[in-house]
């Protein structure tokens, strides 16, 4: 089954509502920018690349009312998820396009131009994911077990995946890949989304509680850990879903390579180190219960950061659409951008 999380259809943004998976496969239609913003904040659409794509289409929806509405939409969307840098990258592309258009352009022409740019961002993401997969699958042996965290697959992108894109590409290259998917507390993106996505394509996938990862490395055998990223700092420190940092520590102890799969749009050279990455904190209710069923006593507090930061020295390589980057990251990431600029 091909997973298609984001579609533009007859003037509406249609999202696969990831809050309801795996039990219910339902589409959510967004007709204005506020509906898109709430879909992003509420995790109906999630994953850094997918957030950027959805936000770009949200700007298109606002363009029906002219440039002032577009500027207001960009402002609204920019506060939905502070950690995912792809959001700001996509909004800057839309904003730059508006700035380049001739003055006095009517809403219909404005919307057409912005829709073309949003569709380009969407199409490019699929091409980028395929390139990440092609580069990254070479890191995996012919028969392997890969441990992953959260969901960095088709659901988190334009339709192929970053971390899961590498796994897909490895199988397409004839490799035998077994996947261990951390459940990813507190909202279970691994158990609900990664497992659903991989099972639908008949992968060998096993769900683990997050706290089982170290034991799995010791007893089940893990050849690589691969995760996505929401922001990569200039020095290679990487923010990803909470629980990624301890995985990297466990991988180092067990001498297992730890790879980050991320598009160039996730690399933020304006953020010097991981200490400078803003970390979103989400409602405590996500930790104190699940899907309306409370599991903790009334009155107890909860800490709920959505992301953590993995230091660059724990990362074996960062796989991008332009190739595989290794330490020293500060030099090699900068060089990668300089080569592209020229």
Residue position matching structure tokens 């029906």: 64
Q: 237 in the Ramachandran plot: left (φ > 0), alpha (ψ -120 to 50) or beta?
A: beta
Decide: 135 and 323 in contact? Cβ < 8 Å.
yes
Question: Cα–Cα distance between 163 and 129 in angstroms, integer?
Answer: 9
Residue position matching structure tokens 């507090």: 301
Residue position matching structure tokens 């700035």: 99
Kindly give the interhelix angle for 48-62 and 107-136, rounded to the nearest 10 degrees. 170
Q: Does the annotation mark 204 as catalytic?
A: no
Three-class DSSP category at 258? strand
Beta bridge partners of 40: none
Beta bridge partners of 290: 293
Beta bridge partners of 16: 27
Beta strand extents in 188-331 (DSSP E only): 204-208, 224-227, 231-233, 238-241, 258-261, 267-268, 289-290, 293-294, 307-310, 317-320, 323-325
Catalytic member of 210, 230, 237, 268: 230
Three-class DSSP category at 127? helix
Kindly calculate the radius of gyration of the chain based on its CA atoms and give it in whole angstroms.
20
Decide: 177 and 144 in contact? Cβ < 8 Å.
yes
Decide: 250 and 217 in contact? Cβ < 8 Å.
yes
Active-site residues: which are they?
A: 230
């Amino acid at each position: 089954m091909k997973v298609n999380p984001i579609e533009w259809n007859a003037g509406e943004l249609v999202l696969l509502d990831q809050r309801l998976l795996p039990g219910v496969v339902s589409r959510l239609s967004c007709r204005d920018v506020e509906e898109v913003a709430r879909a992003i904040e509420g995790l109906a659409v999630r994953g850094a690349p997918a957030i950027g794509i959805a936000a770009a289409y949200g700007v298109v929806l606002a363009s029906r009312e002219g440039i002032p509405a577009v500027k207001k939409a960009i402002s609204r969307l920019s506060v939905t998820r502070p950690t995912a840098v792809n959001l700001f990258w996509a909004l800057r592309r839309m904003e730059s396009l508006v700035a380049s258009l001739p003055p006095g352009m009517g809403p219909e022409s404005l919307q057409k131009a912005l829709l073309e740019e949003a569709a380009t961002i969407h199409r490019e993401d699929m091409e980028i994911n395929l390139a990440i997969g092609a580069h990254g699958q070479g890191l995996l042996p012919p028969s392997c077990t890969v441990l992953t965290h959260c969901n960095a697959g088709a659901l988190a992108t334009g339709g192929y995946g970053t971390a899961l894109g590498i796994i897909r590409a490895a199988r397409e290259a004839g490799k035998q890949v077994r996947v261990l998917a951390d459940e990813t507390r507190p909202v279970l993106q691994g158990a609900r989304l990664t497992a659903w996505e991989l099972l639908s394509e008949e992968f060998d996938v096993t769900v683990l509680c997050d706290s089982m990862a170290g034991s799995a490395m010791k007893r089940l055998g893990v050849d690589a850990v691969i995760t996505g990223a929401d922001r990569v700092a200039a020095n290679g420190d990487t923010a990803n879903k909470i629980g990624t940092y301890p995985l990297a520590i466990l991988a180092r102890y067990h001498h297992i390579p730890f790879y980050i799969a991320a598009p160039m749009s996730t690399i933020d050279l304006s953020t010097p180190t991981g200490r400078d990455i803003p970390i979103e904190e989400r409602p405590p209710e996500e930790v104190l219960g699940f899907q309306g069923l409370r599991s903790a006593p009334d009155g107890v507090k909860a800490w709920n950061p959505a992301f953590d930061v993995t230091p660059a020295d724990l990362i074996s390589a960062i796989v991008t659409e332009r190739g595989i980057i290794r330490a020293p990251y500060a030099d090699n990431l900068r060089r990668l951008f300089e080569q592209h600029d020229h």
